Chains A and B, each alone.
Chain A
Amino acid sequence: MLDFEHVVFQYAVEDFNIIDDLSFHVEKGEFVSIIGPSGCGKSTIFRLINRLLQPKSGEIRIAGESIYQKKSPCGYMPQQDLLFPWRTVEENLRLPMEIRGGLSKAEMKEKTEEALKNVGLEAWGKKSPSELSGGMRQRAAFARTLLTGADLLLLDEPFSALDYLTRISMREWLLQQWEREKKTVLFITHDVEEAIYLSGRILVAEQMPITGLTSVSVPLGYPRGIETLKETALLELREQLIRKLRRDAE
């Protein structure tokens, strides 16, 4: 689904490549998390995929095609919901479809209503985003991401601004959404437990600059419950990942 081939990137203000000869691959339908210490360049990877940044060299492909040949290659969901305050929830969801074009008003309305229903916000379409709670806003933002129509979703720490309890239920909710929508998800987090709970595979950014991502499989099938995190194998995995990350922090 997603291929990085020898990608090199440097910020103009820095004198080194923050991403240096990075290659990795994500299969269609996978849920993959990228973890790493903050400031290591995780988000830069996302900004390369959604073309906000351009690599110095190397190739990024989605479904075998260069990202520069597509109009909107992926659905991007940032840490903050970024719902536009002057649009109702419904109108916010319509935004990616308006931009892409090609759909009639009635088709957009139908898709919006369906998406709202899927994320449990069918009664909230006409409300202003400011009337929604933090978790609801993220659900609306997720629905908007889905309506980009992209098969690859990039979720950049989408739950980190939420309170602990909301975060836990949003994780469960996200897995249900992923299983229903059959999308490929690339998820950035600095929370090891969150990564283990959600992903089939974890990519660890061990060094800075990022020259490679260590792939760690999570030995656990889906569907998952919150209790599964207590299994011994997972606790060991958690320790192992934290050790990896701490080594860099020192």
Chain B
Amino acid sequence: MKSTNRANLPAAILVLLLLMVWQAAAIGMDAAYILPSPAQVLRRLWELRKPLFCAHLPATMSVVGIGLLISIVLGLALAILMDLSPVAEKALYPLVIASQTIPTTALAPLFVLWFGYSIWSKVLVTVLMTFFPVTITVFDGFRSVRADMKDLMTSFGANPGQIFLKLKLPAVMPYFFSALKMAIPLSIIGAAIGEWLGAQSGLGYFSRRMMTQLDGAGVFAPILLLSAAAMLLVALVNLVERRVIIWRSNM
């Protein structure tokens, strides 16, 4: 533990320095509605703790939760399908790539028209942004499965189902965790954008409302919370990953 603390030290010092520069610049500018100082943001976070933590954080997290779940299921399903069938790969792969050229942010107002201010317009934005890295990373994982290991299984008389369960699935696990760690921040960004464009609650919505009131610190406070949530979730995944994947070093 001590050594990891020391490894993080340069990053911590840099963050501290940047915060000091920011603080100094904000004091120099003296226009909190444009550039609030870090201290002001923290103070605002404390003042707004009740609506932020009790109403808006849960609203955003439920969008993130549902969106992430759908993205993982969809991403895994697409990756498995493309791995199983070359025809599916030829049909789906270009489509999956093309889906990323859609400017989701520009379309999101349409989603509000389709789904109203319900949670689903936000979930759709989240899924559109998140399923892609899951699909591609897991599919890359399937493609990285060593052909000689597959040959060995075949020489043992393994059928495709056994090769999938005993070789591909475990081999793809490290990729799955990487995908998860990419998906979490993206899903939070997706949820915030969705809320920014049309919602009645959520951190993204709250941030936008503060904007219209020219409350600079109030814009930053929910954003700070979003980042903290993303870091916390990724740390959690790291913890689980270290338990599950003991072999990554020699893959």
Using CB atoms and an 8 Å cutoff, list the residues of chain A in contact with chain B. Answer: 47, 50-52, 71-72, 74, 76, 78, 80, 82, 84-87, 95-96, 98-100, 128-130, 148
Contacts and interface: CB of A to CB of B under 8 A. Distances in A.
B70 interface: no
A interface, by DSSP: helix, strand, loop or mixed? loop
B149 A74 contact: no
Interface stretch (B72-80, B150-158, B213-221): B150-158
Contacts of A50: 151, 154-155
Given A50-B151, A78-B148, A86-B247, 6 more contacts: A74-B155, A99-B153, A99-B156, A99-B158, A100-B157, A148-B156
B116 interface: no
Interface stretch (B32-40, B57-65, B165-173, B188-196): B165-173
A84 B149 contact: yes
A99 B162 contact: yes
Of A50, A71, A99, the most chain B CB neighbours within 10 A belong to: A99
A71 B154 CA distance: 10
Interface SS of B by simple majority: helix
A98 B162 CA distance: 9
Interface size classification for chain B: 20 to 34
Nearest to B249: A130
A78 B152 CA distance: 8
24 contacts: A50-B151, A50-B154, A51-B155, A52-B155, A71-B157, A72-B157, A74-B155, A76-B156, A78-B148, A78-B151, A78-B152, A82-B152, A86-B171, A86-B173, A86-B245, A95-B153, A98-B162, A98-B166, A99-B162, A99-B166, A100-B156, A100-B157, A130-B250, A148-B156
Given A82-B149, A98-B166, A99-B162, A76 B155 contact: yes
B157 A99 contact: yes
A88 B18 CA distance: 47
Interface in B20-51: none
Interface string B168-210: 0011010000000000000000000000000000000000000
Given A78-B148, A128-B246, A130-B247, A84 B167 contact: yes
A96 B156 contact: yes
Given A80-B148, A128-B247, A95 B166 contact: yes
Q: Most A CB atoms within 10 A — which of B157, B166, B245, B246?
A: B157
Nearest to A49: B155
B54 interface: no
Nearest to A47: B151
Contacts of A86: 170-171, 173, 245-247
A28 to B, nearest CB: 20
A82 B148 contact: yes
A147 to B, nearest CB: 10
A130 B245 CA distance: 14
B196 to A, nearest CB: 42
B1 interface: no
Interface in B113-163: 146, 148-149, 151-158, 162
B251 interface: yes
Contacts of A148: 156
Contacts of A78: 148, 151-152
A204 to B, nearest CB: 25
Nearest to B244: A86
